[in-house]
Amino acid sequence: MLSSVRLIPRTAWLVHSPICSSSRSFMDLKVLLSSLNDFASLSLAESWDNVGLLVEPSQPHTVHTLFLTNDLTEKVMEEALQKKADLILSYHPPIFRPLKHITWKTWKERLVIRALENRVGIYSPHTAYDAAPQGVNSWLAKGLGVCTSRPIHPSKAPKYPTVGTHRVEFSVNCTEDLDKVISAVKEIADVSVTSFSTRTDDEEQTRISLNCSQEALIQVVNFLSQSRQFYQKTEILSLEKPLLLHTGMGRLCTLDESVSLATMIERIKSHLKLSHVRLALGVGRTLESPVKVVALCAGSGSTVLQGTEADLYLTGEMSHHDVLDAASQGINVILCEHSNTERGFLSDLRDMLGAHLENKINIILSETDRDPLHVV
């Protein structure tokens, strides 16, 4: 888990050239990918996302230099090649929608061609890093001041705590029926069976407990419905995946001490190294209004923040109408442009990955990667 990673002081990185990796060893690509998944599991990513290894050079492939960027543009690709990167970790996936052909026609196709020609892999974690305990959203919350935070939408464990998605329980009175039932349900795929003795109204009974998949549930219910004795005493439970601690989308942050909106604006600008942000004042609010609770989401926050009670919404971008909705409820909104709420995390990521990978490879940040929008 990310929360157990020991951070390395920034000064430790300043003694190394961003290009030279002679003092370091290397890692096999497959080993590195496994370590990256241990660092922040790709199972944390949203179902709609496209994460993981997007471009893979032919095997074997060793990685001496890992190149970090928020967005992989053609200019950033040129920089990565000049610095002899073996693997590019691009926070945003440069391949999101399926490519129907790989030609020189579009910039994303050209990225794939140049990566393969130069034997450079491309890996994207995206929303897996959004959800991680010490990921992008937790980094964004650091700029608010001393606070406690929790995910707005907690992540669930990738697997159920037991086999199956449902549990079906019912009672059987006689041994003859018991043997018949157990024999029948064992023939259904994806069903596990346990039994235990119970006493109801001074009558000995055997309680049958079945764990089954969604598909098998239909067959189990169909079997039980053939006998009123079983069906009337049946309980069906939906098994929930357990929530993961400190893991999930967005953060709801409660400050230890309230500050004015004006003060909060300056804190955010300082943390993100921005001279300007966009502000929508909530109805009835002023720059001197107190801010105690902040709901934030790096990148595009409309869906994650919607319906959350807070004094302030902080995100990169929201739709015009979502801003109007929030402001009408008295919620202030600060927009910083999409990638400005994400890019600064990469410096922390470099240090954390260095510790996690035991400094076996050279890790460098892009110097040309930046948000495409500027205030003019």
Domains and CATH numbers, the chain: 27-126 (3.40.1390.30), 132-156+244-339 (3.40.1390.30), 166-238 (3.30.70.120)
Annotated ligand binding at 71? The verdict is no
Q: Are 164 and 89 in contact (CB under 8 A)?
A: no
CA-to-CA distance for 161 and 138, rounded, in angstroms?
27
Which of 7, 242, 249 is closest to 128 using CA atoms? 249
Q: Are 33 and 40 in contact (CB under 8 A)?
A: no
Annotated ligand binding at 321? The verdict is no
Strands (DSSP E) found in the chain: 27-28, 52-55, 62-63, 65-69, 87-90, 121-124, 147-150, 153-156, 166-172, 191-200, 203-212, 235-238, 243-249, 251-260, 278-280, 290-300, 312-317, 332-335, 362-365
Annotated ligand binding at 177? The verdict is no
**Ordered per-residue pLDDT tens for the chain, 376 residues:** 333 333 333 333 333 444 444 456 899 999 999 999 999 999 999 999 999 999 999 999 999 999 999 999 999 999 999 999 999 999 999 999 999 999 999 999 999 999 999 999 999 999 999 999 999 999 999 999 999 999 999 999 987 777 788 999 988 877 667 888 888 888 899 899 988 888 777 777 888 899 999 999 999 988 888 876 665 578 999 988 889 999 999 999 999 999 999 999 999 999 999 999 999 999 999 999 999 999 999 999 999 999 999 999 999 999 999 999 999 999 999 999 999 999 999 999 999 999 999 999 999 999 999 999 988 8
In this prediction, residue 21 carries a pLDDT of 41
Q: 84 vs 21, 63, 64, 71, 360, CA distance in Å? A: 10, 10, 9, 18, 16
Annotated ligand binding at 92? The verdict is yes
In this prediction, residue 159 carries a pLDDT of 79
CA-to-CA distance for 203 and 137, rounded, in angstroms?
57
Q: What is the pTM of this model?
A: 0.82
Report the DSSP beta bridge partners of residue 238.
166
Q: Are 268 and 336 in contact (CB under 8 A)?
A: yes
CA-to-CA distance for 297 and 302, rounded, in angstroms?
9
Angle subtended by helix axes 107-117 and 74-82, to nearest 10? 10
In this prediction, residue 49 carries a pLDDT of 97
Which of 265, 283, 296 is closest to 331 using CA atoms? 283
